[in-house]
């Protein structure tokens, strides 16, 4: 059985890269020379359900990070909006081991970067999972 956060990351990546994408390249590990704007996959935390009768049912809390040095935060916010549009309540295929019951947008925030010119938007999602 594949670990659930990896299966979810693969499914999220496929959804974000489908069609025209979200307006910026997506990376698991960002190369040092990457020009902006870009999206970086953040952390994924699997929290199993506490009830014994629910077996391995649980939730994954995921973050994605958008970076842009365009003047102001408009570009970063537009890319974040495209990500939210693409993933909020999306139907995701996690392969044979896990089923995504629901993925929901749970919040976003602008994080000041030390360089004073980079806009950084952190987007969070929660996905309910069920073992297949």
Q: What are phi and psi of 128, to 5 degrees?
A: -85, 130
CA 16/CA 87 separation, integer angstroms: 8
H or E stretch at 54: none
CATH number at residue 68: 3.30.2000.30
Domain membership of residue 116 (yes or no) is: no
- Is residue 77 within 8 A of residue 109, CB to CB? The reply is no
Q: How confident is the model at residue 36 (pLDDT cuts 50, 70, 90)?
A: very high
What backbone phi and psi angles, to 5 degrees, belong to 118?
Answer: -95, 130
Domain extent for 94: 4-110+121-131
Residue 101 lies in a domain: yes
In this prediction, residue 35 carries a pLDDT of 92
Radius of gyration of the chain measured on its C-alpha atoms: 16
Count of domains observed in the chain:
1
pLDDT per residue as tens digits for the range 50-60? 655 555 688 99
**99-112 pLDDT, tens per residue?**
888 999 999 999 98
Residue 91 maps to a domain: yes
């Amino acid at each position: 059985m594949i670990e659930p956060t990896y299966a979810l990351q693969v499914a999220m990546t496929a959804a974000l890269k489908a069609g025209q994408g979200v307006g910026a390249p997506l990376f698991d590990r960002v190369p040092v020379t990457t020009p902006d704007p870009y999206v970086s996959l953040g952390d994924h935390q699997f929290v199993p359900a506490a009830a014994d009768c629910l077996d391995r049912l649980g939730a994954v809390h995921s973050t994605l990070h958008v970076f842009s040095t365009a003047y102001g935060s408009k570009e970063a916010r537009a890319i974040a909006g495209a990500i939210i549009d693409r993933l909020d309540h999306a139907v995701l295929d996690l392969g044979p081991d896990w089923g995504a019951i629901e993925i929901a947008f749970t919040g976003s925030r602008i994080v000041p970067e030390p360089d004073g010119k980079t806009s950084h938007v952190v987007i969070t999602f929660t996905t309910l999972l069920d073992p297949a």
